[in-house]
Amino acid sequence: MLPLRMLGLLMLMFSLCDADSCCPPDTNPLTLDVPKVIKKYGESVFINCSSTEEYHNGMYWRVGNKDYAMELDYSYISWSVSLSAWNVTAECRIKLDDGQECSKELEISLYQVPEVDVYPLKYAAAVEGRLYELQCDIAGAAPVQNLVVRWYKDNRTIKKDTFTNTTKTPVFESSTLTVNISRGEHGAQFRCEAQLDFGPHGPQLFEVSQTHTVSVDYAPDFENNTEYVSVHEGHDVTLNCEAEGKPPPVSQWTLDGGMLIKKQNLIITRVNTSETYNCSASNYLGNITKQIHVHVIKMIPPTTSADQTTNEPSTPTGCPLVLTPAELVVRFGDPASVNCSTSAAGVLGMGWEGRYGATTSKGPASTWAVEEVDDWSTKPACFINLKENGSYHECSVWLAITLYKTPDTVSVSAMAPGPMIEGSEYRLKCHVANVTPLEKLKVTWYRGNETVHTQMFDNTSKTPVSAWSNLTVTAKRQYNGALFSCKAELHLGPNGPERVPTVTSAPYMAAVHYAPEFKEGSYIKVVDLGVNVTLNCSAEGNPPPEIYWKYTSAVNVRETTRGRQKSISVTGATSTNAHVYVCVATNIVGRVTRSVTLMMTGKTSALQFTTILWFLILLVVIFISILMIIVYKCYKKNRQYTFVPNKAKDCSEIPMTPQSNGDQV
């Protein structure tokens, strides 16, 4: 016999034993058709609970601390759980015949999509080289442990934050982005995106902030700090002091230390001497200066002799110089050379002028050659000094030179975040970074291997710039997973490289969300009483649709799930199962339904039919026989006659004597 102290301890253990701890996990008979639900706060969910134990002392639902009606007759119980409390709990419970009580708790995750806002921590202009901070506020997110915050700059992810708080109720969170800002980010668009990520099989919920465009102030900068300009004597020339900066810099011109003018352009009329002009550009962040060397090409005065009158200097109608090649197409940074030749007589000298490759010779040819063309303003000229008809003159020919540069990168991105929705229009952007000349650029868009759009450009900039090409796409479900790409080509003409310079982007995979669609439509299904019936339902959609059946529940009807297919199994169909079963498929894009009308019919075997038919025939025969016997007996009883001869002399008269009961009447 157990000691009283141990017995009391055991009683205490049993008193503390709840349904799950008293019910061994490997023998728990309960199953929930949906063991885990992820729903928006305030919605409701319909859950079916079934038991493998046919005989029990009752099944019931416990929601929170409240127990609901107990089911005694069936091993199947359903309940609609209202999700209007953040700490809501629900469990299906069963009392077994052996006294044990088991339960199966529904795993519930409630969510609330937050509001998102982004703003700078300091409302002042961003300055190049200084840290710039943005803050993203996420209000009302739940559950916060599923919250993922992503920062984007021009549709490119630059930061990702997650949270470890396990609070189930809505909370306020924030994420800070610190950027070492540069002038290249002037006009850049920053935004943050809050996502509730419930894994690959759960919903993916997004909320995107408004875009914050950054305005960056930076010191002035010249494209070149030194320039060389050649001009014919007596002609006008315009010098440019254009500098890049923000705020726009103020320009100032000086010559030999004296100020000339505070304007961007300096116009010099009737130039007759070579000079070096200084240009400065300044704003509140800095000041820079560049030099522009103006070289004057002068006419050589004529010579006179005692026996010859003075001739006026003359300029020939054409300069007798031939450039080979006549046009030069060269990649920036590559070596280059051009030959300048003449067949004219009286050549006093010739050569090349320019920032690089300047040279002179006595003729009849001169070569301009550089190891590396690294100046976008390069414009060499071949000149010649001639003596014709006693007069001296100089002429020159500019080299037609095209410098090109292939793009640093070519990329495709979506101009709006998130997946496409079928039927809506979206724009994809092809970014071609740092390319020149833009007027020779051709952008070709592809969907897979199919050309869908081409675009040319008319920008005449001679220095590298970035170009954008947009493609408008009307989203279709067959585009889901399609690869979009763009190709940038520089068509530089017959003097360009043999192979067209080409850079192709990495493919952009489109994600298209579309409403569910059933593989088959509604129909009527006629079955015999007592047979087993299975109704299947599956649908295609993106995201994969949630599928469920709407019908009148019965004890012999059960739902099963296999992959993305929901099935209803009817065991031993009865007339109560004859009604309309509606399948519903829904996702974030849309909702569709289809129905199956189940009808019952009786079935009798041929042998049974034959047996019944012969039985009916036999009954009819017996009935007719009995009827004939009764009629005959009645007739015989009431009408009896005998033939009695009465003195008949011949056969002509035979009197008949009726008899009744042997007495003569």
pLDDT, tens only, 28-50: 899 999 889 999 999 999 999 99
Least confident range from 65-79, 346-360, 579-593, 600-614: namely 600-614
39 in Cβ contact with 84 (< 8 Å): no
- Same domain? For 81 and 173 the reply is no
Residue 569 resides in a domain: yes
- Same domain? For 50 and 107 the reply is yes
Say whether the peptide bond before residue 543 is cis (omega within 30 degrees of 0).
Answer: yes
Least confident range from 12-16, 414-418, 437-441: namely 12-16
282 in Cβ contact with 222 (< 8 Å): no
SS3 of 146-201: the string is HEEEEEEECCEEEEEEECCCCCCCCEEEEEEEEEECCHHHCCCEEEEEEEEECCCC
Residue 32: how many CB atoms within 10 A of its CB?
18
Per residue in 224-248, pLDDT (tens digit) is 888 878 777 788 889 999 898 999 9
CATH number for the domain spanning 596: value is: 2.60.40.10
Residue 206 resides in a domain: yes
Residue 17 resides in a domain: no
What would the two tokens of residue 137 be? 């506020």
Residue 456 resides in a domain: yes
What would the two tokens of residue 196 be? 């509730």
Domains contained in the chain, number: 6
Per residue in 246-303, pLDDT (tens digit) is 999 999 998 877 877 888 888 888 888 888 899 999 999 899 999 888 877 765 443 3
- Same domain? For 373 and 287 the reply is no
656 in Cβ contact with 641 (< 8 Å): yes
- Same domain? For 361 and 423 the reply is no
- Same domain? For 487 and 413 the reply is yes
- Whole-prediction pTM: 0.45
Residue 579: how many CB atoms within 10 A of its CB?
14
Boundary (domain end) residue, out of 246, 281, 297:
297
- Same domain? For 137 and 103 the reply is no
Which residue type, as a one-letter code, is found at position 230?
A: S
What would the two tokens of residue 449 be? 């291997």
Residue 280 resides in a domain: yes
Question: Residue 155: exposed, middle, or buried by beta-carbon count in 10 A (0-12, 13-18, 19+)?
Answer: middle
Query: At 643, is the pLDDT very low, low, confident or very high (cuts 50, 70, 90)?
Result: very low
Boundary (domain end) residue, out of 551, 580, 601:
601
Residue 254 resides in a domain: yes
- Same domain? For 252 and 274 the reply is yes
- Same domain? For 539 and 590 the reply is yes
Sheet containing strand 420-421, strands side by side? 420-421, 512-518, 539-542
- Same domain? For 373 and 428 the reply is no
Number of residues written out for the chain: 665
Cα–Cα distance, 530 to 603 (Å, whole number): 10
Q: pLDDT at position 251, please?
A: 92
Closest among 207, 198, 213, 201 to 173, alpha carbons compared: 207
- Same domain? For 191 and 289 the reply is no
Residue 51 resides in a domain: yes
Interacting residues of 528 by C-beta distance below 8 A, sequence separation 6+: 573, 600, 601, 602, 603
Per residue in 577-599, pLDDT (tens digit) is 998 999 999 999 999 999 999 99
In eight-state DSSP terms, residue 405 is: B
CA distances from 62 to 42, 79, 389 (A): 19, 10, 118
- Domain of residue 476 covers 404-510
Cα–Cα distance, 157 to 643 (Å, whole number): 131
Q: pLDDT at position 313, please?
A: 31
CA angle 369/371/372 to nearest 5° reads: 115
Mean pLDDT score, 61-87: 89
Mean pLDDT score, 132-146: 90
Cα–Cα distance, 209 to 190 (Å, whole number): 9
- Residue 42's region, left for phi above 0, alpha for psi from -120 to 50, else beta, is left
The rounded mean pLDDT for the chain is: 84
Residue 638 resides in a domain: no
- Same domain? For 154 and 240 the reply is no
Boundary (domain end) residue, out of 510, 533, 567:
510
Interacting residues of 599 by C-beta distance below 8 A, sequence separation 6+: 524, 525, 526, 527, 578
Q: pLDDT at position 204, please?
A: 79
